[in-house]
């Protein structure tokens, strides 16, 4: 794979169906950008705790659900993990994709450093693929 730039994407989501949707979108992006010598390598995590242990892998992009269940089936929010990610490496792009439609939550996450906030709806799903391509192109331009 010499000469191919690898973009690491973490998917942090506890909904297995939505993980599959995101994985399919990333595979589609891989097909579209392959001519640019870029390949997305993704990992899925089902809890914030699990993902936080793997930050040393230096993801380029994190797709983060806002409301997650932790390993003990207790409710957790992506807000704490967003803080940890930004403290670890500020230039990681964090895209929050959530069923939470509260404007105050959206504003708070963007103020804390989330790159984008998308609702889990059909319209937002259409935005994910071009958004990921745009973030990858931005990463490539800064290399």
Domain-wise residue ranges, the chain:
5-141
pLDDT digits (tens, 9 = 90+) for 58-76: 999 999 998 886 666 566 7
Q: Residue 142 carries which DSSP code?
A: T
Entry pTM: 0.91
Strands 93-98 and 116-119: parallel
CA distance 10 to 42: 6
Please choose, from the candidates 115, 109, 108, the residue with its C-alpha nearest in 3D space to the C-alpha of residue 135. 115
Over the stretch 8-40, which tens digit does the pLDDT of each residue have? 999 999 899 999 999 999 999 999 998 888 999
Distance CA 117, CA 21 (A): 17
Which residue has 């745009």 as its token pair? 134
Q: Which two tokens stand for residue 19?
A: 């993980």
Tell me which architecture the domain covering 5-141 has in CATH.
3-Layer(aba) Sandwich (3.40)
């Amino acid at each position: 794979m010499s000469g191919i730039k690898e973009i690491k994407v973490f998917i942090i989501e506890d909904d297995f169906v939505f993980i599959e949707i995101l994985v399919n979108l990333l595979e589609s992006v891989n097909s579209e950008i392959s001519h640019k010598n870029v390949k997305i390598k993704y990992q899925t995590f089902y809890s914030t705790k699990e993902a936080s242990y793997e930050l040393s892998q230096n993801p380029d992009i994190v797709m983060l659900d806002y409301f997650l269940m932790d390993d003990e089936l207790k409710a957790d929010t992506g807000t704490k993990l967003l803080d940890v990610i930004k403290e670890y490496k500020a230039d990681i792009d964090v895209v929050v994709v959530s069923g939470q439609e509260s404007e105050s939550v959206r504003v708070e996450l963007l103020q804390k450093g989330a790159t984008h906030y998308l609702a889990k709806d059909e319209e937002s799903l259409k935005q994910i693929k071009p958004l990921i391509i745009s973030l990858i192109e931005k990463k490539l331009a800064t290399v």
